[in-house]
Amino acid sequence: MPKDATAKTATLYRMVLADHMCPHGLKSKDLLERQGFHVEDCHLTSRDEVDAFKAKHDVKTTPQTFIGEEHIGGFDDLSAHLGKAPKSKDSTTYKPIIALFSVAFLMATTITWVALGTTFTGRTVEWFISISMVLLGLQKLQDVERFATMFLNYDLLAQRWVRYGYVYPFVETGAGLLMMAGVLTQLSAPAALFVASIGAISVFKAVYIDKRELKCACVGGDSKVPLGFVSLTENLMMIGMAIWMLSKL
């Protein structure tokens, strides 16, 4: 809450040009209104107005918020003042992997309903794992270079053969697509089994033997997901899927 609980009127100066509307200005306005403030929304509609405002208040950026006579600052300062400061960009989080697996499960149940007319069967589990593989592979393919760099921190094969880090996302995505379709199992299952087995061993060694604290490259090279249980589970799921698919041949 604001330091002065009675100060429920705020003045917000934000950039609103013909060709650009500052997104942080809109976020500041929304945050203030959600916290119960009446917002005096002052638009800076030209570059000259923006420059003059910055010079007058000796600030480098807009938006700028004032609560009563107190100058709060930009969006980050406002968030901190109201106790809504976002987490550090470097802080660890499981949100990306939770979102990915949740979407994969919903997609699997949707496919089950469309294809089989029911909500859950053994095939749903197969689709869930294969869809997860594709989505995880897609995250890596967005920036293969960054993924490969992070992957080198812990993957045992990549540390011996650097190019493996560039190959891995294509193998994971391709195997997942083939498993979704249920075709070329003789190719997809051994490929998935191979990369997942190396991955599981690498994660187990790095986390549980060497006790290293690393970020997992499972959702791409800018991942903030900790390397550990989730990463190991991902690889074990792929191993289980591969063995199951091979057993059906």
> Could you tell me the residue ranges of all domains in the chain?
9-81, 95-247
Residue 224: predicted pLDDT: 85
Residue 1: predicted pLDDT: 44
Specify whether the CB–CB gap between 111 and 118 falls below 8 A. no
**Any idea what DSSP says for residue 13?**
E
**Any idea what DSSP says for residue 226?**
B
Residue 86: predicted pLDDT: 66
Using alpha carbons, list the distances in angstroms from residue 155 to 33, 144, 204, 239. Answer: 48, 15, 10, 16
Residue 178: predicted pLDDT: 97
Please state whether the peptide bond connecting residue 169 to the residue before it is cis, i.e. omega within 30 degrees of 0: no
In Å, how far from its chain's centre is CA 195?
A: 23
Distance between CA 214 and CA 206 in Å, rounded? Answer: 8
Using alpha carbons, list the distances in angstroms from residue 197 to 18, 62, 159, 202. Answer: 56, 51, 16, 9
Domain 9-81 in CATH 3.40.30.10? The answer is yes
Run means of pLDDT, 10 residues per run, the chain, 249 residues: 61 95 96 95 96 96 94 94 74 87 97 94 95 96 95 96 97 97 95 97 96 90 84 93 93
